[in-house]
Homo-oligomer: A and B are copies of this chain.
């Protein structure tokens, strides 16, 4: 607990009877040669004195600070921890530390946080699913300050810009439609809310596109977008899915399968089905996106799309720290079939069919 005066390179130099420069060379693995004898002597002194190089001074002098920034939209979003873990792991392997900043979906805060990180000397900044692309204010602010940025983003179609790790949501929805279509489903619903990540619109569009490629289409009346959600909160997001489902299932020609923008909403859909006395998957199939643990706990367990979040976090960091490649990386998620999807119900209710009381019962 001795708060001894900080041991500097100078102390080591004096102890080893060499110059600071020599110690400095020793520090970063002798770029130019160095006699083994000296190296050892310096090493011994450093160890003896308990010397630890100051990252601050090193950073100030122009060299790296060995720190990067990671900005997450909402840390309580269950998708984030694996991403952060991946990012931190990779950064750590590369000898970097990570500054974490959570903006709680207040997108306008991103730029400030990014700049604060720049001031602290980060060498790069990664955005975990920011609402917009690399052209968002926060990203441009950082890169115009000379700090490289990278981001996790929906992939969209076309090439992926350098620095971005793109999630191919469309490919995911394609798998969902394949699965459901083979099960006989023809009327699809989509549940989302106004506070989801940038992936939301891509998932909806992906569903519509996959349906279109089979000559079917996503009826706008079968798309529910809850807008009563305020700040992000897992349970609240589940509730938004529940509200969506309630409105989706109130129509006479209700969908036989509902795709939710993510697992949280999907859980809400399953819960709503229970409220309405509908059996899943006999009466209604439900599929989510993201593969959360909560979806496995649900009865029936949720069929969903697995997204390799941990790997994405790793890639994001690798991309910003060592921007070797000039192109981005495309990540394709994959379907995980569990119990919430099954054959479409036999008795399809043609459009315009009148609801009976049993349908109405909650």
Chain A interfacial positions (CB closer than 8 Å to B): 1-3, 6, 52-57, 59-60, 65-67, 70, 75-76, 78, 80-82, 84-85, 88-89, 92, 97-102, 104, 113, 115-121, 140, 143-146, 234-235, 238, 267, 271, 293-294, 296-299
Contact = CB atoms under 8 A, between A and B. Distances in A.
B88 A97 contact: no
A115, A121, A140, A238 — which one has the most chain B CB atoms within 10 A of its CB? A121
Nearest to A270: B297
Contacts of A121: 54-56
A92 B103 CA distance: 10
B146 A3 contact: yes
Contacts of A297: 238, 267, 271, 294, 297-298
Nearest to A297: B294
**Which A-B residue pairs are the 10 nearest by beta carbons?**
A100-B100, A234-B293, A3-B146, A294-B294, A55-B120, A56-B121, A56-B60, A55-B119, A76-B81, A56-B59
A122 to B, nearest CB: 9
Contacts of A3: 144-146
B97 A98 contact: no
11 contacts: A55-B121, A56-B120, A57-B60, A60-B60, A75-B88, A81-B81, A84-B100, A85-B104, A89-B102, A238-B296, A297-B297
A120 B293 contact: no
A60 B8 CA distance: 12
Contacts of A92: 101, 113
Contacts of A76: 81-82, 85
B88 A120 contact: no
B296 A115 contact: no
A271 B119 CA distance: 50
Nearest to A99: B97
A297 B298 CA distance: 6
B294 A119 contact: no
A81 B82 contact: no
A2 B54 CA distance: 30
Given A75-B85, A80-B81, A143-B1, A119 B296 contact: no
A69 to B, nearest CB: 8
Contacts of A299: 299
B144 A2 contact: yes
A144 B2 CA distance: 5
A98 B82 CA distance: 18
